[in-house]
Chains A and B, each alone.
Chain A
Amino acid sequence: MKDSAADRVAQFVEDLLKGRRPRRFSATPEEAEAMSAAAGLAAARVGSDLPDKAALERIHRRLSERLDDSPAVDGRYSRRAWLRTVGTAAAAVVVGVAIDEAVTRRGSSAPTATEAEVLTPDGGQWRPVAALEQLPPGQAMTVSTAAMDVVVVNDGGQISAVSGICTHLGCKLQPDNADKRLACPCHQTAFSWTGKLLYYRLKSAPPDLPRIQSRVNNGQIELFV
């Protein structure tokens, strides 16, 4: 059975999304067009388009072999040098992806996934914090209660809430709606809307953000705080 154009492009997309080098084939102009758009979209996933340390090491080593009269001492690339290269350029280190589905990337190491803890304060109760209509889909807002700062998120109609305080040193996180993340201004750490750690430039990975119980009741967003 011959594959259709849609099937061939679907296989190409599948390879990209699985982080594999896609199979080569002779594409029609229409297919190539679609595949090129697919490549652009695959790059739009948070964290996908930064090289990992191993990739930079390989590029550096091969450049040394092909260019250098005085080859690099041992061809290795220290973590600090990597941080500097990636850091100066991108100010972030990829450790995961924003979408919760894992995206496999050659040589990359995702942080060990730990189920985010749910923060349930002693003596907490359901308190309304905002009208649902104040928080349109695709937006996050910070809510301060007496006890804590909380970021409430409307992701496509689904309301959720996480602690609004960075798990590293307690800086207040800033919601970034465009990229659906919460950024820490102190050390460039970033979390997804679900509280998962996305980037950090620290010696060790800070924990994911605790989740806060939330619900919608009569058009009001309520948090258990």
Chain B
Amino acid sequence: MGLIELRPGGRPEPDPEAAVYTDWESVYQDNVVGIYQLAFRRVGNAADAEDVAEEVLIRTLHTLRFPAAVHNVRAYLVKTARSVLADHWRRHYAAQNAVVELEQVPAPGLAGPPNSVASERAQRMLALLPDQFRRVLELRFLRGYSVREVANEMGVSEANARVLQFRALRKAATLEQEVLR
């Protein structure tokens, strides 16, 4: 049985301002899913999200002194996540100024229902795209079409479908920054 099993069920958090973490396990348990989700929204795959989440937690936990106020820890986690994600893009894709504009995370918790943030943002962003762009991204990402299927559906060549996808994503990136603001 792991340590977590021994923890009492409810974490008492009567006053959010006064709540503190006293050990790394509670920081982990409270925040790992939220950090993972936040990372996933920026890397888009499970393997990288896992690595990023671990790195964020380890960097944060190395510098924490317990007891630590919950709201401070959460703010620090988000700040650390921003820097780990920027490193990720720089190291793996040579992206110098990878915009890691992390959305502000509301204080009560870092985790949301699955996909709520990502899908809400995606919907808002898709709605703003020109028809062709929206169509290619919807088919590819939300409906799981292959490039070939997208090409067939839209009556273009596969090479054109890839170009369309690229342009749509670039447009989406600029829109996303507006949406996030």
A58 at the A/B interface (Cβ < 8 Å)? yes
The answer to whether A44 and B98 have CB atoms under 8 Å apart is: no
Residue of B nearest to A6 (CB): B166
- Chain B residue nearest to A99 (CB atoms) is B144
Which A residues are in CB contact (< 8 Å) with B122? Answer: 40-41, 44
User: Does more than half of chain B's interface fall in helix, strand or loop, or is it mixed?
Assistant: helix
A17 touching B144 in the complex, CB below 8 Å, given contacts A10-B166, A43-B115, A49-B40? yes
Chain A residues 1-47 with CB under 8 Å of chain B are: 4-7, 9-10, 13-17, 19-22, 24-27, 29-47
Most chain A CB atoms below 10 A, which of B3, B29, B37, B46: B46
* Given A21-B45, A90-B114, CB of A37 within 8 Å of CB of B170: yes
Least distance between A39 CB and chain B CB atoms (Å)? 3
Q: Enumerate chain A residues within 8 angstroms of B121, measured Cβ to Cβ.
A: 40, 44
Report the tally of A-B residue pairs with Cβ distances under 8 A: 241
A14 to B165, CA, bound (A): 11
Contact B115 A39 (CB under 8 A): no
With both beta carbons as reference points, the residue of chain A lying nearest to B3 in the complex is identified as A72
> Number of B interface residues, CB 8 Å?
73
A66 at the A/B interface (Cβ < 8 Å)?
Answer: yes
Q: With a CB–CB cut-off of 8 A, which chain B residues contact A92?
A: 113-114
Q: List 28 A-B contacts (CB under 8 A).
A: A9-B162, A10-B147, A10-B162, A30-B170, A33-B170, A34-B169, A35-B169, A37-B176, A39-B41, A39-B44, A41-B169, A42-B45, A43-B37, A45-B119, A46-B119, A49-B37, A49-B49, A59-B54, A60-B32, A62-B54, A63-B57, A76-B2, A77-B4, A84-B4, A89-B110, A99-B143, A101-B144, A179-B116
